[in-house]
């Protein structure tokens, strides 16, 4: 029995395509495509995951260096306590302008407080003492006053 | 003699046997896939799950053929959020590092000044003016000191030089106060890193 060659080839290919469809061979191709994509996405995820973990660990280390920390409220309290004015600088994150006059001991206190707390730093400082001599004659002297103009910058920790 | 081509007018035909061989050759891989696909899928996914065992467990990713497509979408969403998170953390790290660097600079300067500052019967220092900005520092102070000992102003100048400042010192006056056996002086120091 003989059939036309063209017809035979077309018939064989049709059978191939038909069987392939019937047995879900296309699913195999689709699966391969998906599994490749999943592999690359999981790879990206594991890299990012490691990156984020390392960064978090590093931030913890930096946070530990900055201990002890104080909050914005604490800064407000101490400046109010010493009679200094505290103004937040607009457009900057946690930057404050501290101005006013106070006693030398109070000046020491706020500077020591700022140096003690790791998350605040004195960005710029300008102080002027009201005394004009080193020799103090108690009856003549007015109480020395220090006028402060400083910029305090902080970062928010944990 | 004319050479005749016997095949010239022959119709191209396929023998039944040849047709069968052709069909079987084409269908063989189809059947091969048909009977191995389940095993193939399972082993591929097992390999994938074991390769990324850490993240798969951490983010509760199910590696199953049924919900592969939706799971990929979830991972993509996860990746995007992780990217923004990593960028935010980097920002925070940068802020912390700049802060710590500047904190160290300003703290060490103040510590230097405080460590030298004395107020006792031999030596008495009074700060008149202090200006500290970026990497510049300028200060004026009065000092009452015993001329036989060295003045703290000089010590301070040396300490600042040691911590990397180029210091300019100017003595506004240095007067002997004979009734106290002391000198009184006013010194201005200007330093720049």
Residue range B99-106: mean pLDDT, rounded: 88
Q: Which pLDDT does position B16 carry in this prediction?
A: 86
Give domain status of residue B153, yes or no: yes
Given B27, B46, B62, the domain boundary residue is B62
What residue has token string 């009074």? Answer: B126
Give domain status of residue B122, yes or no: yes
Res. B90: pLDDT tops 90: yes
Domain co-membership, B124 together with B186: yes
Please answer whether residues B35 and A25 qualify as being in contact, where contact means their C-beta atoms are separated by less than 8 angstroms: no
Task: Give A65's contacts in chain B (Cβ within 8 Å).
Answer: 100
Q: How far out from the chain centre does Cα B96 lie?
A: 10
**Class of domain A72-154 as given by CATH:** alpha beta
* Tokens encoding B49: 């799950």
- Please tell me the distance from the alpha carbon of residue B118 to that of residue B143, in angstroms, as a whole number: 10
Give domain status of residue B120, yes or no: yes
Give domain status of residue B100, yes or no: no
In terms of Cα–Cα distance, which of B188, B97, B130, B162 is closest to A124? B130
What residue has token string 């004395």? Answer: B118
CB-based contact (8 Å) between B6 and chain A? Answer: no
Domain count of the fold of chain B: 2
Res. A50: pLDDT tops 90: yes
Given B62, B78, B93, the domain boundary residue is B62
pLDDT category at B9 given cuts 50, 70, 90 is low
What residue numbers bound the domain in which B181 lies? 116-192
In chain A, where are the structural domains located? 5-65, 72-154
Question: Residue A130 carries which DSSP code?
Answer: S
Give domain status of residue B1, yes or no: no
Task: Give B61's contacts in chain A (Cβ within 8 Å).
Answer: 42
pLDDT category at A138 given cuts 50, 70, 90 is low
Q: Which pLDDT does position B1 carry in this prediction?
A: 67
In terms of Cα–Cα distance, which of A102, B101, B124 is closest to A110? A102
Domain co-membership, B57 together with B121: no
Residue range B57-71: mean pLDDT, rounded: 83
Residue range B45-72: mean pLDDT, rounded: 86
> In a 3-state reduction of DSSP, which class is residue B186?
strand
Residue range A45-58: mean pLDDT, rounded: 94
* Tokens encoding A79: 């400046």
Residue B1 C-alpha, separation from nearest chain A C-alpha, in angstroms? 33
- Please tell me the distance from the alpha carbon of residue B36 to that of residue A155, in angstroms, as a whole number: 60
- Please tell me the distance from the alpha carbon of residue A53 to that of residue B129, in angstroms, as a whole number: 47
Look up the ipTM and state it: 0.77
């Amino acid at each position: 029995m003989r059939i036309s060659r063209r017809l035979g080839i077309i018939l064989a290919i049709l059978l191939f395509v038909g069987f392939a469809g019937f047995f879900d061979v296309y699913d195999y191709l689709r699966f391969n495509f998906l599994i490749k994509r999943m592999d690359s996405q999981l790879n990206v995820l594991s890299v990012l995951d490691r990156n984020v973990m390392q960064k978090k660990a590093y931030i913890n280390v930096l946070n530990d260096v900055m201990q002890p920390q104080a909050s914005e409220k604490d800064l407000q309290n101490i400046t109010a306590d010493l009679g200094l004015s505290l103004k937040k600088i607009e457009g900057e994150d946690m930057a404050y302008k501290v101005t006013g006059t106070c006693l030398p001991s109070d000046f020491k206190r706020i500077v020591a407080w700022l140096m003690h707390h790791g998350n605040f730093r004195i960005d710029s400082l300008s102080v002027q003492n009201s005394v004009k001599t080193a020799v103090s004659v108690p009856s003549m002297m007015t109480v020395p006053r220090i006028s402060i103009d400083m910029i305090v910058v902080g970062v928010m920790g944990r | 003699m004319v050479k005749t081509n016997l095949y010239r007018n022959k119709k191209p035909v396929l023998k039944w046997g040849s047709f069968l061989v052709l069909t079987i050759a084409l269908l063989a891989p189809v059947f091969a896939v048909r009977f191995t696909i389940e095993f193939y899928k399972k082993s591929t996914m097992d390999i994938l799950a074991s390769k990324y065992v850490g993240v798969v467990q951490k983010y509760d990713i199910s590696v199953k053929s049924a919900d592969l497509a939706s799971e990929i979408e979830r991972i993509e969403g996860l990746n995007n959020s992780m990217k923004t998170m990593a960028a935010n953390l980097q920002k925070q790290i940068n802020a912390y590092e700049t802060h710590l660097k500047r904190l160290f600079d300003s703290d060490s300067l103040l510590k230097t000044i405080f460590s030298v500052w004395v107020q006792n019967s031999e030596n008495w220092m009074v700060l008149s003016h202090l200006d500290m900005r970026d990497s510049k520092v300028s200060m004026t102070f009065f000092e009452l000191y015993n001329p036989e000992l060295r003045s703290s102003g000089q010590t301070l100048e040396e300490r600042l030089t040691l911590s990397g400042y180029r210091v300019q010192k100017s003595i506004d006056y240095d007067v002997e106060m004979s009734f106290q056996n002391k000198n009184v002086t006013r010194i201005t120091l200007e330093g720049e890193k």
